[in-house]
């Protein structure tokens, strides 16, 4: 079974700082997805990465994919409070989506 | 708004009862997925349907069942409910997998079993 691991599971960071969330997966795939979830809310699609070396940026968030290392990163630049949420990565193997455990991010003023 | 519609939004029921959660996928999406999210288990994949046929099964209990109808809406049936079934149940939909199509989540159905 395909496994998707995220780290850290919990992240508390100060406003204005930079940090990276890591997503490792256990089998070959060149399709990786990032989602954001606010407490008690739905999951919102952030990024879709479809090839090795893909990089997508939206505001203070930048996601990248290294299919050879089976690794995706979600980089946060100059964090602001509004980024506080849980972030999930997911991999699809052509048949099913596999989600990571999520990273709960809290940005402290 | 993702375009995926789930009803009811909130549901409170007693142990031993049965409930049905309903999902309408985005227009044109043939795949429907059901997920359960609880504090202690995280986001758990339950089952996937594609154009009316079961395509993948995850950690779905025998007390739970689902189906996708010809009009592509789906229902998740939860029976003999236990306190531990209290969770947020998400439906999601996508065009077919394998082409980089992301899946879009509904707002979820909050189930509380008392």
A2-13 per-position pLDDT tens digit: 899 999 999 999
Query: Given pLDDT bands bounded at 50, 70 and 90, which one contains residue B42?
Result: confident
Distance in Å, alpha carbon of B69 to nearest chain A alpha carbon: 20
Interface of A with B in 90-109 (CB under 8 A): 92, 94-99, 101-102
- pLDDT per residue as tens digits for the range B59-99: 899 999 999 999 999 999 999 999 999 999 999 999 876 67
Q: Which of B43, B106, B107 sits opposite A102 (nearest CB)?
A: B43
A13 close to A79: Cβ distance less than 8 angstroms: yes
Sheet-wide strand order for B5-7? B5-7, B19-24, B74-78, B64-68
Residue B97, pLDDT score: 67
Neighbours of A3 (CB within 10 A): 11
Quickly tell me which residue has 């109808």 as its tokens: B69
> What value does the mean pLDDT of chain B take?
93
CA dist., res. B36 & res. B28, Å (int): 24
Interface test with A, best of B23, B38, B97 (most A CBs within 10 A): B97
CA B44 to the chain's CA centroid: 10
Q: Which of B88, B97, B104 sits opposite A95 (nearest CB)?
A: B97
Say whether residue A50 is in contact with chain B using an 8 A CB cutoff: yes
Residue B74 phi/psi, 5-degree rounding, is -130, 155
Residues of chain A with Cβ-Cβ distance to B107 below 8 Å are 41-42
- Averaged over A24-38, what is the pLDDT? 91
Give me the residues paired with residue A74 across strands: A21, A63
The residue length of chain B stands at 114
Helix (H/G/I), strand (E/B), else coil: A68: coil
B106 close to B2: Cβ distance less than 8 angstroms: yes
CA dist., res. A87 & res. A74, Å (int): 9
Residue B95, pLDDT score: 87
Interface test with B, best of A42, A48, A88, A94 (most B CBs within 10 A): A42
Distance in Å, alpha carbon of B108 to nearest chain A alpha carbon: 7
> What percent of chain B stands above pLDDT 70?
97
The least confident of A41-55, B43-57, B96-110 is B96-110
> What percent of chain A stands above pLDDT 70?
100
pLDDT higher than 90, residue A83: yes
């Amino acid at each position: 079974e395909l496994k998707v691991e995220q780290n850290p599971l919990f992240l508390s960071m100060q406003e204005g700082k930079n940090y990276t969330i890591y997503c490792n997966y256990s089998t070959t795939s060149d399709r990786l997805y990032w989602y954001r979830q606010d407490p008690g809310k739905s999951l919102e699609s952030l990024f879709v990465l479809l090839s090795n070396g893909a990089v997508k940026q939206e505001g203070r968030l930048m996601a990248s994919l290294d299919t050879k290392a089976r690794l995706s990163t979600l980089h946060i630049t100059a964090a602001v409070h509004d980024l506080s949420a849980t972030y999930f990565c997911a991999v699809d193997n052509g048949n099913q989506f596999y989600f990571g455990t999520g990273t709960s991010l809290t940005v402290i003023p | 708004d993702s375009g995926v519609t789930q009803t009811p939004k909130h549901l409170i029921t007693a142990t031993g009862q049965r409930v049905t959660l309903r999902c309408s996928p985005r227009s044109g999406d043939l795949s429907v997925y059901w997920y359960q999210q609880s504090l202690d288990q995280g986001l758990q994949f339950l089952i996937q349907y594609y154009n009316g046929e079961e395509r993948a099964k995850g950690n779905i209990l025998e007390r739970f069942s689902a189906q996708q109808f010809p009009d592509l809406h789906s229902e998740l049936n939860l029976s003999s409910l236990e306190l531990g079934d209290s969770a947020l149940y998400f439906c999601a939909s996508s065009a077919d997998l394998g082409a980089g199509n992301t899946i879009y989540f509904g707002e979820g159905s909050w189930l509380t079993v008392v």
